[in-house]
Amino acid sequence: MDYKFLPTTDPQVLELLRAEEARQKSGLELIASENYASAAVLETMASVLNNKYSEGYPGKRYYAGNEVVDSVESLAIERAKKLFGANFVNVQALSGSPANLAVYFALVQPGDTILGLKLDHGGHLSHGHPINFTGKTYNFVQYGVNPVTGRVEMDEVERLAKEHKPKMIVAGFSAYSRDFDWVRFKQIADEIGALTFADIAHVAGLIAGKAIAGPIEAGFDVVTTTTHKTLRGPRGALIFSKDEEVAKKINRSVFPGLQGGPHEHVIAAIAVALGEALQPEFSEYAKKVIQNAQTLATQLIAKGFKIISDGTDNHLMVVDLQNKNVGGKEFTDALDRAGISASASTIPNDPNPPMKPSGVRLGTAAITTRGMGEAEMVKIAEWIDRVAQNFANEDELAKIKKEVSQLAVKFPVPGI
């Protein structure tokens, strides 16, 4: 990336940016929540829209000079509606957890009962974990996965819903590799009169690319997503709804309920990313992400790795490392020294504490963006296996890192 002013204005920051560019170009990104935004998205975030304050919504601002901003935000909204088939979209939430907070703030009261997926079973902190604001504010009842299949047990969700009569059922995940049965969630919620809230932050791009089904067409009351991850945009969020009254509550919740001025340079970049996702080639990308994940999972299973649920339907997988005699944090540190970025992860009913979990989460969204395919997945699985066998052997890790770099530089990183 060309930097016109930093060389003289702040060479120290420029040096750090160049170092990060080099790291990204020479390594492999398997962190499931990360991806590469296009050069156009990065360019838009560096635009003059960063200078504008715009409290309110299009046509209803508290500051003057927002006629261009109104058009930018309206464009992002219309593209999101078209891409996801939604009636209403709020594009102002700053990220995923703030978007989720806005939903809770709008639709439930402190102390209300809510059903959500356990964190160590693949859920997210904002789905009711006790240390999170959601667990401290609401009465969360948590469902989990079947200990044998590793899949969400829908009969158990139904039983818990009928027993506890939650005001809302949250369906979504951050570390679950199978499709969600959105239709069954909606049927269970309708039977007890509960609201349905889906968090599709991880799979929004796969849904937008028509590679998997989503909750909007299943009739969910409200849906949130981040705009990076599989959607390949900037760090922001979207909130969808099918109901006009719910939409009004969401807008009031975001502003003035929780936020002041939105980040219009990011919203413009979201519009660019949504425009890219509306192109036919994005659907091919979404399908390729899943194909790569399934190839990687199959290769790892063949090498003796235990994948939770024995495979994947999306872009990620959680690997149970207990049979490899290495902890998740220890393993991700070794992978990092070998030029492969991943994230340590809890496994269902993990016997170890969260800071020293028993698993690792892997994802294929970023490496697919770089153009990698089945042959590269086979090679990556071989490197992961070698790291597992040599996680304390620095010479071998250095050798793997060199091999990783030789492959990685053949696949350019967008924007660099």
Residues 286 and 245 in one domain: no
**Pair (286, 364) in one structural domain:** yes
- Asked if residue 388 and residue 243 are part of one domain, the reply reads no
CATH number at residue 290: 3.90.1150.10
Q: Model's pTM, two decimal places?
A: 0.96
Residue 259 and residue 211 in one domain: yes
Does 336 map to a domain?
A: yes
The one catalytic residue among 151, 229, 232, 386: 229
**In the prediction, which pLDDT does 203 show?**
98
Q: Is residue 307 part of a domain?
A: yes
- Residue 295 annotated to the active site: no
Residue of 21, 25, 53, 70 with catalytic role:
53
Q: Among the three residues 245, 277, 309, which one is the final residue of a domain in this structure? A: 277
Which is catalytic among the residues 29, 73, 199, 276?
Answer: 199
Looking at the structure, tell me whether residues 242 and 306 fall in a common domain.
no
The pLDDT of 324-348, averaged and rounded, is: 97
47 and 151 inside one domain: yes
Active site residue 55: yes
Within a domain: residue 404? Answer: yes
Q: Is 165 a catalytic residue?
A: no
CA 306 to chain centre: 23
At 292-332, the pLDDT tens digits run 999 999 999 999 999 999 999 999 999 999 999 999 999 99
Residues spanned by the domain of 316: 282-408
* Same-domain pairing of 228 and 288: no
Shared-domain flag, residues 273 and 286: no
From 81, 235, 287, 399, active-site residue? 235
- Residue-wise pLDDT for 159-193, tens only, equals 999 999 999 999 999 999 999 999 999 999 999 99
Among 43, 55, 179, 382, the active-site one is 55
**47 and 132 belong to one structural domain:** yes
Q: Are residues 257 and 203 in the same domain?
A: yes
Residue 235 appears among annotated catalytic residues: yes
Report if residue 416 sits inside a domain. no
Instruction: Judge whether 104 counts as a catalytic residue.
Output: no
44 labelled catalytic: no
How many structural domains are present in the chain? Answer: 2
pLDDT at 2: 86
Answer yes or no: is 31 within a domain. no
pLDDT tens sequence across 264-296: 999 999 999 999 999 999 999 999 999 999 999
Which amino acid, 217? E
Residue 327 in any domain: the answer is yes
Single out the residue in 219, 244, 277 at which a domain terminates. Answer: 277
Q: Which residues have C-beta within 8 Å of that of residue 331, sequence separation ≥ 6? A: 321, 324, 342, 344, 360, 387, 388, 391
Query: Is the same domain home to 188 and 319?
Result: no
Does one domain contain both 72 and 128?
Answer: yes
Domain boundary among 235, 260, 277: 277
Residue 181 maps to which CATH number?
Answer: 3.40.640.10
Q: Which of 226, 312, 346, 368 is catalytic?
A: 226
Determine, yes or no, domain membership for 298: yes
Residue 1 pLDDT > 80: no
